[in-house]
Amino acid sequence: MQFTFLLEQVVNGLVLGGYYLLIALGLSLIFSVGGVVNLAHGAFFALGAYVSVEITKYLGFGSAVVLSPIAVAMLGILFERYILRRFYTADPILSLLVTFGLAMVAEQAIRIIWGAPPLSAAIPPALRGSVFLGDFLFSRYRLLILAVVAAVLVGVWLLLHKTSFGRVVRAGIQRPDMVAALGIRLQPYMTVIVMLGVGMAALAGAFFAPITIVQPAMGADIITVAFVVVVIGGLGSFWGVVIAALLVGVVRGITIHFEPAAGEASMYVLMFVVLLVRPRGLLGERIEKFE
């Protein structure tokens, strides 16, 4: 019984990890290709949630989870074109400062537009409740999120590994100088990567609005977790981020099972241990420009 219950916590942790993954994958991609730690990534997550709550009022939940990430991804294009682009080759401190500042501006902007009190959002009645798979209990809604995450994951993997676009991006992560020598400009690729990254963050926001509180600081709360996942997974590695996100979710679930008070600290302990053993992260590759 005890073992089954523990297993249930593990599986539940995997689902939660999937949610972290949506945010962390974009953060990791932007960092790997552009060399910019996008501290404003959480702001796009929050925007995704707010925009989806607005759209839900008029067009319903189904349209909201599709349209909101698209709208936010468009904003991502502007963000890349007019702000991020200036900092690829600059001192990393500058891009940290500018994205950190932007995160604060975005949070205040949300406060001005929508107000400080949280917005109310709910799951459509049809998606409520839990289902039993064998002896395990799952929230029906979270299973849907898991399916969406899996689909996105497959899509991104195919894009990076089976298309010429992906080949350039992967080469750009490793040897931007060689890519340049071949006469390929990385900037248009970066625009797409940022669009994709913030779009995924907004997708996470849209799906989590009904089951978490929609408030201005929600972006600031999630960016720390996403950053920890990226660090644990290691830079430049697709599967590193995937494994790290799932691991963080599972370790949290197991910790809460045995020692609830340590639940929220568990991911930092995990990061500490991983960095001690593998300073580059679980599957982090040796990337020359970051050494």
Partner 1 sequence: MTSYSRRTLLKTGAAFAGASALGFPAIVRAQATRIKIGHLVPLTGFLGAIGSYAQLGVKLAAAEINQSGGIIGKQIDLMSEDSVNPATASTKAQRMIEQDGAVVLLGEISSASSLTIMQVAERNKKVFFSTGARSDALRGKNCNRYSFHCDIPNTVMVNAVGTALNQKGMVKGKKFFTLTADYIFGHDLLKAAKTFFDANGATLAGDELIATDVTDFSPYLLKVRQAKPDVVCCNLAGNQVTNLVKQYAEFGFPYPLVGFNLNTGDAWAAGEGNLSGTWPTVWYHTLDNPASKAFVAAFTKKYDKPPENHAWIDYITLKLLAQAINEIKSTESEALIAHFEKQTEFDIMKARKGYFRSWDHQLVQEAYPFTVKPKNEMKDKWDMLVLGDAVPVPTEPLEKIYPTKTQNPCEMKA
Q: Kindly tell me which of 189 and 208 has the beta carbon lying closer to partner 1.
A: 208
What are 166's two structure tokens? 């992906």
User: Cα separation of 143 and 134, whole Å?
Assistant: 15
User: Per-residue string for binding with partner 1, 59-98, x by CB under 8 A?
Assistant: ----------------------------------------
| Binding test (CB under 8 A) with partner 1, winner from 12, 28, 52, 237 | 12
Q: Kindly tell me which of 125 and 183 has the beta carbon lying closer to partner 1.
A: 125
User: Per-residue string for binding with partner 1, 106-145, x by CB under 8 A?
Assistant: ---------xxxxxxxxx-x--xxx------x-x-xx---
Is 125:66 a contact under the CB 8 Å cutoff? no
The least distance separating partner 1 from the CB of residue 179, rounded to whole angstroms, comes to 35
Q: Kindly tell me which of 22 and 156 has the beta carbon lying closer to partner 1.
A: 22
| Binding test (CB under 8 A) with partner 1, winner from 32, 38, 68, 215 | 215
Q: What is the size of the binding site for partner 1 (CB under 8 A)?
A: 40
Q: Kindly tell me which of 65 and 195 has the beta carbon lying closer to partner 1.
A: 65
Is 32:236 a contact under the CB 8 Å cutoff? yes
Q: Kindly tell me which of 44 and 141 has the beta carbon lying closer to partner 1.
A: 141
Return the residues of window 240-269 that contact partner 1 according to CB under 8 A: 252-253, 256-257, 260-261, 263-264
Q: Kindly tell me which of 229 and 283 has the beta carbon lying closer to partner 1.
A: 229
Burial of 83 (0-12, 13-18, 19+ CB in 10 A): middle
For 68-134, the DSSP string reads HHHHHHHHHHHHHHHTGGGGSSS-HHHHHHHHHHHHHHHHHHHHHHH-SSPBP----GGG-SEEEET
Which stretch, 5-13, 35-43, 74-82, 283-291, contacts partner 1 (CB under 8 A)?
Answer: 5-13
By DSSP bridging, strand 136-139 and strand 130-133 are antiparallel
Is 38:200 a contact under the CB 8 Å cutoff? no
Interface with partner 1, residue 41, by CB under 8 A: no
The least distance separating partner 1 from the CB of residue 122, rounded to whole angstroms, comes to 3
Q: Kindly tell me which of 85 and 257 has the beta carbon lying closer to partner 1.
A: 257
| Binding test (CB under 8 A) with partner 1, winner from 85, 170, 213, 290 | 213
Q: Where are the alpha helices (DSSP H) in the chain?
A: 2-34, 41-59, 61-82, 92-114, 140-162, 164-174, 176-181, 187-208, 218-233, 238-258, 266-277
Q: Tell me how far CA of residue 16 lies from CA of 78, 131, 138, in angstroms.
A: 31, 17, 12
What are 82's two structure tokens? 């007019």
| Binding test (CB under 8 A) with partner 1, winner from 106, 214, 244, 274 | 214
- The footprint of partner 1 (CB under 8 A) covers 5, 8-9, 12-13, 15-16, 115-123, 125, 128-130, 137, 139, 141-142, 210-215, 217, 221, 252-253, 256-257, 260-261, 263-264
